């Protein structure tokens, strides 16, 4: 299994694929074709009742993952975020809006007219590549609500392609970058592909704070932290219901435009988590939130989400849309590589290669992939890339890659059409591109 280790695939994704293989979609269909539908294993190793329980899990556990995203994290000022991560923030938004642009253009020009695909397919690249498996699984109910149920399975399949692209292309680009002198650092002869020398990459926001937190005496610590996440989700639910109520009595009733009704809960749960953390900070109680416990709860929820999502993935949907699936994968890969090698040197002011690798990894499915690539290129953390990548998440995650913009993309396309959403993203792309050129980029680099 060394080849799996060398791909840096999380164990939950491997476990999800194992469950998929021994489930009804592969083993079940093989047994049915050989021995008939009445065979004991015609549904694979899992009874239908078990799969019925697994199916809604992604939409539930994504709320826990996002509610825990900023709990236990230091919430810096906007000035500090801009100073440390402004260049990578601009780069991240350029890449994300660009994914919408290329996805919508491909859908409008090829996928819809030639293959009859829904216009909602234009959002698949951003949902799958920047959002990853977690967002893809969490968005499945929204796809179903809007009448494009196969979009959920396609996005999960594309998220897997994204991780493979991120790791394989990322490592290849690092090797090319060292030969061409893109990086200002040297490896000192160390082999960072050796499992014995490889450091564990944490699937957090790019920065960890190890601390000893007081243990509450009146409540078990795990229950206490679960309750914090539950409160964050409850706050998010209240915010979402308030927005739905406002929509129903304002623009929804006036213009028959309904967007918030299709927005899932998890981005609001993330806002709820930020609110809880800010309250604890203001009351000087932040030491009672143990980041390590929050990380373990979030990791468990993410593992359950990934395994259940992949185990219930419909391969028939991907097979029925194989050519569009391949086209979307190719276009997404070309865009991400282009952004890394062409746009990054023109937006990022210093250490552009190390900084851009983090954005490339996140833009292909996982923040952990970005951390991995930065660790390989900058093992001693001699550049500001890792710190900037961590701070960037505070103004990035709430909006794209599973945030408000991502969750609203499908209802926006459904209500206003792909052309309107395309124009919106072109404007956003140009704004962040110009900001990146003006505040950072070669001009800033030359003045240093």
* DSSP string covering 239-291: HHHHHHHHHHHTHHHHH----GGG--SHHHHHHHHHHHHHHHHHTT-GGGS-H
- Separation between Cα atoms, residue 1 and residue 245, nearest integer Å: 52
Which pLDDT band, with edges at 50, 70 and 90, does 380 fall under?
confident
In tens, the pLDDT along 424-442 reads 999 999 999 998 888 776 6
State the pLDDT at residue 190.
45
Please answer whether residues 371 and 364 qualify as being in contact, where contact means their C-beta atoms are separated by less than 8 angstroms: no
State the pLDDT at residue 422.
97
Average pLDDT over residues 383-390: 77
Q: What is the b/e burial string over 46-60, where b = at least 16 CB atoms within 10 angstroms of the residue's CB?
A: beeeebeebeebbbe
Q: What angle do CA 250, 275, 286 make, to 5 degrees?
A: 175
Most confident residue range from 43-52, 111-120, 309-318, 396-405: 111-120
Which pLDDT band, with edges at 50, 70 and 90, does 371 fall under?
confident
As given in the structure block, the two tokens for residue 353 are: 């290669």
Q: What angle do CA 314, 320, 321 make, to 5 degrees?
A: 100
As given in the structure block, the two tokens for residue 54 are: 């697994």
pTM of the model: 0.77
Please answer whether residues 413 and 114 qualify as being in contact, where contact means their C-beta atoms are separated by less than 8 angstroms: no
Check pLDDT > 70 for residue 197.
no
Least confident of 244-253, 285-294, 391-400, 410-419: 391-400
In tens, the pLDDT along 312-369 reads 877 788 888 999 999 999 999 999 999 999 999 888 878 888 889 989 988 987 676 7
- Separation between Cα atoms, residue 120 and residue 411, nearest integer Å: 9
What mean pLDDT is reported for the chain? 83
Most confident residue range from 58-72, 227-241, 370-384, 394-408: 227-241
Average pLDDT over residues 266-274: 87
State the pLDDT at residue 324.
95
Check pLDDT > 70 for residue 271.
yes
- Separation between Cα atoms, residue 63 and residue 66, nearest integer Å: 5
Least confident of 64-73, 96-105, 318-327: 64-73
DSSP letters, 382-427, are -SSHHHHHHHHHHHHTTTSSSSHHHHHHHHHHHHH-HHHHHHHHHH
Those residues whose C-beta lies under 8 Å from the C-beta of residue 283, and which sit 6 or more positions away, are: none
Q: Which of 53, 254, 266, 264 is nearest to 146 (CA)?
A: 264
Average pLDDT over residues 83-97: 88
340 against 78, higher pLDDT: 340
Any idea what DSSP says for residue 72? T
Whole-Å CA distances, 362 to 44, 372, 387? 34, 10, 15
Average pLDDT over residues 125-143: 87
181 against 101, higher pLDDT: 101
Check pLDDT > 50 for residue 236.
yes
- Separation between Cα atoms, residue 241 and residue 232, nearest integer Å: 14
Check pLDDT > 60 for residue 122.
yes
């Amino acid at each position: 299994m060394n080849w799996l280790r060398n791909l840096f695939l999380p164990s939950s994704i491997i476990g999800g694929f194992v469950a998929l293989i021994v489930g009804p979609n592969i083993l079940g269909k093989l047994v049915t074709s050989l021995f008939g539908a009445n065979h004991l294993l015609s549904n694979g190793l899992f009874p239908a009742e078990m799969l019925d329980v697994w199916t809604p899990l992604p939409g539930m556990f994504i709320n826990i993952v996002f509610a825990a995203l900023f709990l236990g994290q230091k919430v810096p000022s906007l000035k500090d975020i801009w100073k440390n991560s402004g260049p990578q923030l601009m780069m991240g938004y350029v890449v994300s809006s660009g994914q919408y642009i290329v996805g919508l253009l491909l859908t409008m020009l090829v996928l819809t007219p030639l293959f009859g695909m829904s216009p909602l397919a234009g959002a698949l690249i951003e949902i799958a590549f920047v959002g990853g498996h977690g967002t893809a699984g969490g968005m499945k109910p929204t796809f179903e609500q809007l009448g494009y149920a196969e979009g959920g399975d396609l996005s999960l399949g594309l998220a897997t392609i994204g991780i493979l692209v991120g790791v394989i292309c990322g490592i290849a680009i690092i090797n090319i970058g060292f030969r061409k002198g893109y990086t200002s650092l040297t490896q000192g002869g160390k082999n960072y592909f050796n499992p014995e020398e490889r450091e564990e990459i944490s699937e957090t926001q790019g920065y960890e704070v190890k601390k000893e937190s007081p243990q509450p005496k009146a409540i078990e610590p795990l229950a206490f932290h679960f309750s914090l996440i539950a409160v964050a989700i409850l706050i998010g639910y209240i915010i979402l219901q308030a927005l739905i109520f406002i929509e129903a009595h304002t623009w929804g009733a006036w213009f028959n435009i309904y967007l918030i009704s299709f927005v899932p809960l998890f981005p609001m749960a993330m806002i709820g988590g930020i609110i809880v953390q800010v309250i604890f900070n203001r009351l000087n109680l932040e030491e009672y939130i143990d980041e390590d416990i929050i990380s373990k709860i979030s990791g468990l929820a993410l593992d359950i989400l990934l395994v259940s999502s992949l185990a219930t993935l419909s391969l028939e949907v991907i097979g029925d849309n194989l050519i569009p699936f391949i086209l979307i994968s190719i276009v997404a890969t070309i865009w991400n590589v282009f952004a890394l090698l062409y746009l990054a040197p023109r937006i990022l002011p210093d250490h552009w290669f190390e900084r851009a690798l983090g954005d490339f990894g996140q833009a292909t499915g996982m923040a952990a992939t970005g951390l991995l690539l930065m660790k390989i290129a900058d093992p001693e953390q001699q550049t500001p890339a890792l710190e900037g990548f961590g701070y960037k998440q505070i103004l990035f995650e709430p909006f794209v890659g599973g945030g408000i913009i991502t969750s609203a993309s499908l209802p926006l396309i459904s209500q206003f059409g792909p052309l309107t959403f395309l124009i919106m993203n072109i404007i956003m792309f140009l704004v962040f591109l110009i900001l990146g050129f003006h505040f950072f980029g070669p001009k800033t680099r030359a003045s240093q």
